[in-house]
Chains A and B, each alone.
Chain A
Amino acid sequence: MSNTSMNGGDHWMALEGGADGSGDDGSCASRFAGIGASLPERRLSSDELMASTEYSTGIDLERLTGVRERRIAGDGEDSYTLALAAARDALAHADCTAEDLDVLIVSSITHYVGGLRMQLDPPLSVSLKEALGARQAMSFDISNACAGMMTGVFLLNDMIRQGRIRRGMVVSGEYISQLGVNAAREIRTMMDDQLASLTLGDAGAAAILERAPQGAPGIEVAGFTTLAEHSRLCLAFPAKIGRGASMYSDARTLQEVGIADTVPMLREALNQAGLEFDEIDYFIPHQTSARAITKGVKEFSEVMGSAPKHVVVTVNEFGNTSSTTHFVALWKYLREGRFLKEDRVLLLSIASGLEVGIVIFKVDQLVERYGHDH
């Protein structure tokens, strides 16, 4: 027995969709109806962060990772407030209200409410649903490390394609910079297993998916898999030394296996969509470090025999905003009018687990929702 999608064929990933985003059995296609984000006003440069370390590390963090600065939550901001602001922003750009949402998924890694109190019960989605007025929505939280929002997109896409729901939202609020604060107290060298924590930044992001009109472009393929051989390469849990959490990762190995193991997944997803790599106009990978992105794209392109037209990098100005990175990047490019309607985007998630998720879609009507008409 093998994984088979609506379009048939063997593949490693759980895959949804085909060349036109819908199955050949009359299933619906889905599309992004609005992307929202919220960024704290406060900025923290890498130089400022490294000046706060307990020990003299000699690490040039900006040179090493490309992260110049990141946003950090201010007074009154936390996972919940960042998620709520992003959800409202997404609704403002979509042609619907909160009452039109059939499903609301919260996908934050961090669940900080009221400062650095990590809420486990009730799920954050209950209070977000109430605050938004999404009265009809089925709500729940998911957790899938930095692949959380992409996992939510995968789930919503599946529900919409079946016709089970018309519209849904996935939203994350990540107050995750505290991991960097804790790391700064303990880190001693460049080889430290908390180095990756220093790249983290705070942000909220939200994506609304809806049923696409017949024949309209939208999500062409969504796929996910977990290569659990590497599940213990990155672990985060409540800190021993202070408030918030600490994260310990073998970042070097994670990057190496992430790149190597993603190649066949990219090939599967592109094959499913009937595309070559150079037919991707904008490639948006998970934003860990500029160096990792450059290395990954180079290797992907060499193996695939072609390269995407543009590679989106935002880690320099926002840091790694964990589960929100793809959608903060999308939101930024939409606001700046970078996309054309006919542009095709590939979102690639490589996250702790090891999770590999891919979403390929056409931007289409989204550009108009941000005040642009090209």
Chain B
Amino acid sequence: MGTIIEASAVATAAAHQRSLSPGALELADAAARSCLESAHRSSEELDVLINAGIFHDKILSEPAFASLIQEDLGANLSPPTGAGRGTFSFDVLNGACGMLTGMSLIDGMLSSGTVELAMVVASDMDPEPGVSEGFSFPGVGGALLLSGDDARAGFTAFRFATFPEFAKLFHSYVDWQEDAPAGRAQDGRNILTVEIAKSYVTHALDCAEPIVRELAAGQALDLAEVDLLVATASVPDFADQLAARLGVSAELVAILPEDLAAAHTAAPAAVLQEVDLTAAGTTLFVSVGAGITVATALYRG
């Protein structure tokens, strides 16, 4: 049985600012609902819900953001009074590699029969516009619905690697600033800071290329056979540059719209809105995030 992406959806702050106050939770909720609708599925069918977003409302550390999304979706909220099914929600925190990490975990749980339908949701939004420092990601939420399919291969391999020598190139943290600028607070405040070095994209490419080649070698895949490249790293132009290094034609690169080019954790779902995954034979997923962490996967439609 293969793990397939049954549906994907995206919700952007720009598109939703008239109908709702688009915090990260609202974007995640909207993407998740849209994803379920497009697959003609009910939220009550979800066995597992994983949130992979990082920058969310108030920077909540408890509970898991996924449990809030689950409640908003109305997915098996109440305790069972008899036979029934539940939903298990938790967060995966792995920067821009979170969605691929979540999909690898779901791939395992689908294979073992522990679950039958699962979703990975991710969204990022500046929690305090005008106060946070260095936050440059567009407000966007994405959702991917996964299930098992006996007739299709789906995900056939995942590969992950970390390069801690480049950990300082992409940093985000919340820290107390005593000297917060006037007008913010008298006695200081906790402020989110995001720092991405200019050299990050070059090192992201350097780290990703050998891991992709290892994945391909392990799967006896000639990279010339790749029909679709879905590559994200929270910075614009990463996908094109990686394709050039790998020898994948530029025409086979899935490209984010310009306003979402720097999308963070939701980027893989956002990219899939631009392509027909089912029509593509062999899709190569590559995500690079802080760490530097590289996540790659091979998907056979």
Report whether A352 and B62 are in contact in the complex, using a CB–CB cutoff of 8 Å: yes
Q: Give chain A nearest CB distance to B253 CB in angstroms.
A: 25
User: With an 8 A cutoff between CB atoms, is B70 at the interface?
Assistant: yes
Report whether A122 and B47 are in contact in the complex, using a CB–CB cutoff of 8 Å: no
> B174 is contacted by which of A4, A117, A144, A257 (Cβ under 8 Å)?
A117
1/0 per residue, CB under 8 A from A, across B30-59: the answer is 000000000000000101110000110011
> A151 is contacted by which of B90, B192, B290 (Cβ under 8 Å)?
B90
Q: Contacts A109-B62, A238-B174, A245-B61: A121 and B88 contacting too (C-beta < 8 A)?
A: no
Which residue on A lies nearest to B45, using beta carbons?
A1
User: With an 8 A cutoff between CB atoms, is A190 at the interface?
Assistant: no
> B67 is contacted by which of A4, A15, A139, A228 (Cβ under 8 Å)?
A228
Q: Contacts A145-B63, A229-B71, A242-B176: A120 and B55 contacting too (C-beta < 8 A)?
A: yes
Q: Contacts A155-B105, A231-B68: A126 and B60 contacting too (C-beta < 8 A)?
A: no
Report whether A353 and B167 are in contact in the complex, using a CB–CB cutoff of 8 Å: no
Q: With a CB–CB cut-off of 8 A, which chain A residues contact B89?
A: 226, 228, 353, 355
> A5 is contacted by which of B65, B79, B114, B162 (Cβ under 8 Å)?
B114
Report whether B77 and A229 are in contact in the complex, using a CB–CB cutoff of 8 Å: yes
1/0 per residue, CB under 8 A from A, across B77-105: the answer is 11110011111111111110110010001
Report whether A224 and B88 are in contact in the complex, using a CB–CB cutoff of 8 Å: yes
Q: Contacts A117-B174, A122-B95, A238-B190: A143 and B114 contacting too (C-beta < 8 A)?
A: no
Q: Give chain A nearest CB distance to B159 CB in angstroms.
A: 9
Tell me the dominant secondary structure on chain B's binding face. Answer: mixed
Most chain A CB neighbours (cut-off 10 Å) among B47, B79, B176: B79
Most chain B CB neighbours (cut-off 10 Å) among A151, A261, A353: A353
Q: Give chain A nearest CB distance to B102 CB in angstroms.
A: 9
User: With an 8 A cutoff between CB atoms, is A247 at the interface?
Assistant: yes
1/0 per residue, CB under 8 A from A, across B132-162: the answer is 0000000000000000000000000000101
Q: With a CB–CB cut-off of 8 A, which chain B residues contact A138?
A: 160
Residues 158-174 (chain A) with a chain B CB within 8 angstroms: 158-159, 161-162, 164
Which residue on B lies nearest to A154, using beta carbons?
B88
Q: Contacts A2-B83, A121-B170, A155-B105: A16 and B90 contacting too (C-beta < 8 A)?
A: no
The stretch of A6-14, A39-47, A91-99 that contacts the partner chain: A6-14
Interface size class of A (residues with CB under 8 A): 35 or more
Q: With a CB–CB cut-off of 8 A, which chain B residues contact A10?
A: 83, 85
Of all A-B residue pairs in the complex, the 4 with the closest CB atoms, nearest first, are A121-B290, A238-B190, A229-B77, A352-B63
Given contacts A225-B88, A228-B67, A235-B58, 5 further A-B contacts (CB under 8 A): A11-B85, A121-B95, A144-B90, A226-B89, A355-B89
Footprint of B on A, CB under 8 Å?
1-6, 10-16, 23, 27, 109-111, 116-123, 125-127, 129-130, 138-147, 151, 155, 158-159, 161-162, 164, 224-229, 231-232, 234-240, 242-243, 245, 247, 257, 260-261, 264, 351-355
Footprint of A on B, CB under 8 Å?
45, 47-49, 54-55, 58-68, 70-71, 75-80, 83-95, 97-98, 101, 105, 108-109, 111-117, 160, 162, 164, 167, 170-176, 189-190, 192, 194, 289-293
Contact sample, A vs B, 25 pairs, CB 8 Å cutoff = A14-B86, A118-B173, A119-B172, A120-B54, A120-B93, A120-B172, A121-B54, A122-B289, A122-B291, A122-B293, A123-B290, A130-B162, A143-B61, A144-B64, A146-B62, A162-B112, A226-B66, A226-B89, A228-B75, A239-B190, A240-B190, A243-B190, A245-B61, A352-B63, A355-B63
